[in-house]
């Protein structure tokens, strides 16, 4: 375990923030259309927010949690004065049912639920729930920046390193900075980044559409590769670290993240490449013993049979489409959070930070 970050409460976002809060409405950047089109959707109620999360308008574990918190604030804004506590809690159930794997969603709803329980009136609930959502949003950016400092210590970046990443873990997946991509941003700032290799990340192409877009906008050197090219890249010696985010981390240090992460960890161990998971403490679920307990979302077969309405497989072929997998703790060199880093994670190391 290490822990000595220099950045204090820095909540400046970088890159394109995925949500904008206006007090009585929420705007979400429709990430399904990126990078071709920057289209903002105005959402006015919790049901609409839940639908946007389910449909991947907004995605990425921390961004889902923050968006759900704003969804609860909207629920208070739009409910009538009768039975307001029960009405808001029903809306919270809708939000909780949107996606199952990222624990940040349930963490944020739990926090909003505690604030709601302490409210004496609807007027108070409207104000305090909105404030809490804004706080959750702000704290996420602070946490991202602090974990990037810790990650730099772990990497011990004294000379530029090549990094392979998976999915999108940047500003678009968080409150506006990034977990794994935040670490990569910091490496670039410190002139310790040789190049980022971005897995395109089938089937939603978060790597190609979002990560490559975010990095290119900031002039961070990025090369896009198919997911299948990862082994060849590692064998070439161009990659020193694989750095990924997480959707849920259990008490023993197992990590659920975008499907394909587990394969990267196996490949990294084979090739002597280091493997880091960067995530805020809101992604840690100490209530679950190990990764086998994590609910893994499976999505529609059409996501593999079609691409943007074009058929790319036989229309009735059986499909296996889990969208997350679990990387065992034994394949991870370090889990880095805003509280510090756990090296060679196991239950003891995890408890020392998240008891
Ligand atoms: O299906 P998605 O796009 O929501 O999956 C996102 C990921 O798996 C990310 O790696 C994870 O949420 C970390 S984001 C900081």
The pLDDT of residue 2 is above 50: no
| Ligand 1 atom nearest to CA at 174 | 15
Average pLDDT over residues 107-129: 98
The single residue listed with the structure tokens 């008490």 is 251
Q: Domain check: are 154 and 136 in the same one?
A: no
Residue 226 CA, ligand 1 centroid: distance in Å? 18
The pLDDT of residue 9 is above 80: no
Q: What is the pLDDT of residue 304?
A: 98
Q: Helix (H, G, I), strand (E, B), or coil: what is residue 350?
A: helix
Residue 202 CA, ligand 1 centroid: distance in Å? 13
Q: What is the pLDDT of residue 12?
A: 82
The pLDDT of residue 335 is above 80: yes
Kindly report the average pLDDT of the chain as a whole number. Answer: 96
Q: Domain check: are 36 and 86 in the same one?
A: yes
Q: Helix (H, G, I), strand (E, B), or coil: what is residue 121?
A: coil
Look at the pTM and tell me if it is higher than 0.75.
yes
Q: How far apart are CA 243 and CA 264, in angstroms?
A: 10
Phi, psi (degrees; rounded to nearest 5) at 27: -105, 135
Tell me if 1 is assigned to some domain.
Answer: no
Q: What is the pLDDT of residues 13-58, one digit of tens each?
A: 787 899 999 988 999 999 999 999 999 999 989 999 999 999 999 9
Strand intervals (E) in 89-246: 161-165, 193-199, 222-225, 241-244
Residue 343 CA, ligand 1 centroid: distance in Å? 22
Q: Domain check: are 41 and 173 in the same one?
A: no
Q: Helix (H, G, I), strand (E, B), or coil: what is residue 6?
A: coil
Tell me if 315 is assigned to some domain.
Answer: yes
Q: What is the pLDDT of residue 217?
A: 94
CATH of the domain at 91: 1.20.120.420
Tell me if 10 is assigned to some domain.
Answer: no
| Ligand 1 atom nearest to CA at 204 | 3
Residue 10 CA, ligand 1 centroid: distance in Å? 23
Q: What is the pLDDT of residues 192-227, one digit of tens each?
A: 999 999 999 999 999 999 999 999 999 999 999 999
Q: Helix (H, G, I), strand (E, B), or coil: what is residue 41?
A: strand
Residue 81 CA, ligand 1 centroid: distance in Å? 37
From the list 256, 253, 258, the residue with the least C-alpha distance to 333 is 253
Question: HSE (CB half, 13 Å, CA atoms) of 314?
Answer: 4
CATH of the domain at 346: 3.40.50.10470
Q: What is the pLDDT of residue 211?
A: 98
Q: Domain check: are 244 and 305 in the same one?
A: yes
Residue nearest to atom 6 of ligand 1 (CA): 60
Tell me if 3 is assigned to some domain.
Answer: no
Q: What is the pLDDT of residue 10?
A: 80
Q: Domain check: are 234 and 137 in the same one?
A: no
Among 148, 257, 282, 322, say which to mutate for ligand 1: greatest number of ligand atoms within 8 Å of CB. Answer: 257
pLDDT-based confidence at 5, cuts 50/70/90? low
Among 172, 211, 245, say which to mutate for ligand 1: greatest number of ligand atoms within 8 Å of CB. Answer: 245
Q: What is the pLDDT of residue 50?
A: 98
Q: Domain check: are 135 and 242 in the same one?
A: no
Q: What is the pLDDT of residue 3?
A: 46
Q: Domain check: are 200 and 320 in the same one?
A: yes
| Contact between 29 and 187 (Cβ < 8 Å) | no
Q: Domain check: are 119 and 159 in the same one?
A: no
Total structural domains within the chain: 2
Q: Domain check: are 203 and 235 in the same one?
A: yes
Q: What is the pLDDT of residues 71-106, one digit of tens each?
A: 999 999 999 989 999 999 999 999 999 999 999 999
Q: Domain check: are 79 and 220 in the same one?
A: no
Q: Domain check: are 81 and 190 in the same one?
A: no
Active-site residue numbers? Answer: 247
The single residue listed with the structure tokens 């308008």 is 57
Q: Domain check: are 111 and 169 in the same one?
A: no
Residue span of the structural domain in which 130 resides: 19-142
Residue 283 CA, ligand 1 centroid: distance in Å? 11
Residue nearest to atom 8 of ligand 1 (CA): 258
The pLDDT of residue 8 is above 60: no
Tell me if 299 is assigned to some domain.
Answer: yes
| Contact between 209 and 184 (Cβ < 8 Å) | no
Of the residues 142, 159, 190, the one at which a domain ends:
142
Tell me if 195 is assigned to some domain.
Answer: yes
Tell me if 87 is assigned to some domain.
Answer: yes
| Ligand 1 atom nearest to CA at 278 | 15
Work out whether strand 255-258 and strand 324-327 pair parallel, antiparallel, or are unpaired: antiparallel
| Contact between 96 and 103 (Cβ < 8 Å) | no
Tell me if 4 is assigned to some domain.
Answer: no
Of the residues 110, 142, 174, the one at which a domain ends:
142
Of the residues 142, 174, 199, the one at which a domain ends:
142
Among 199, 246, 248, 263, say which to mutate for ligand 1: greatest number of ligand atoms within 8 Å of CB. Answer: 246
Residue nearest to atom 9 of ligand 1 (CA): 60
| Ligand 1 atom nearest to CA at 170 | 15
The single residue listed with the structure tokens 């970050």 is 5
What residue ranges line ligand 1, CB within 6 angstroms?
59-62, 102, 167, 169, 173-174, 179, 206, 245-247, 257-258, 323
């Amino acid at each position: 375990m290490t822990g000595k970050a220099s950045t204090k409460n820095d909540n400046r976002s970088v890159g394109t923030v995925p949500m904008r809060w206006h007090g009585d409405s929420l705007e979400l950047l429709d990430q399904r259309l990126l990078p071709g089109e920057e289209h903002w959707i105005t959402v006015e109620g919790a049901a609409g927010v839940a639908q946007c999360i389910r449909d991947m308008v907004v995605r990425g574990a921390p961004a889902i949690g923050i968006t759900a918190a704003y969804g609860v604030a909207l629920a208070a804004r739009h409910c009538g004065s009768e039975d307001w506590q029960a009405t808001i809690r029903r809306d919270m159930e809708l939000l909780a049912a949107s996606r199952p794997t990222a624990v940040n969603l349930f963490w944020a709803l739990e926090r909003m639920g505690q604030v709601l329980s302490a409210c004496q009136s609807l007027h108070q609930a409207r104000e305090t729930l909105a404030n809490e959502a804004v706080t959750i949003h702000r704290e996420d950016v602070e946490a991202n920046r602090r974990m990037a400092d810790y990650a730099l210590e772990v990497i011990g970046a004294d000379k530029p390193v090549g990094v392979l990443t998976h999915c999108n873990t940047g500003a678009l997946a968080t409150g506006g900075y990034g977990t794994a991509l935040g670490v990569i941003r910091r490496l670039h700032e410190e002139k310790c980044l040789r190049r980022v290799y971005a897995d395109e990340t089938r089937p939603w192409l978060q790597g190609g559409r979002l990560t490559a877009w975010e990095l290119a906008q900031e002039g961070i050197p990025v090369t896009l590769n198919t997911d299948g090219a990862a082994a060849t890249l590692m064998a070439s010696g161009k990659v020193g670290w694989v750095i990924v985010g997480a959707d849920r981390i259990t008490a023993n240090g197992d990590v659920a993240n975008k499907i394909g992460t587990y394969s990267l960890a196996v490949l990294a161990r084979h090739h002597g490449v280091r493997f880091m998971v960067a995530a805020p403490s809101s992604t840690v679920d100490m209530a679950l013993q190990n990764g086998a307990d994590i609910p893994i979302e499976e999505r529609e077969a059409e996501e593999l049979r079609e691409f943007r309405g074009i058929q790319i497989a036989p229309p009735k072929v059986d499909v296996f489409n889990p969208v997350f997998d679990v990387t065992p703790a034994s394949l991870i060199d370090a889990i880095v959070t805003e509280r510090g880093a756990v090296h060679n994670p196991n239950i003891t190391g995890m408890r020392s930070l998240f008891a």
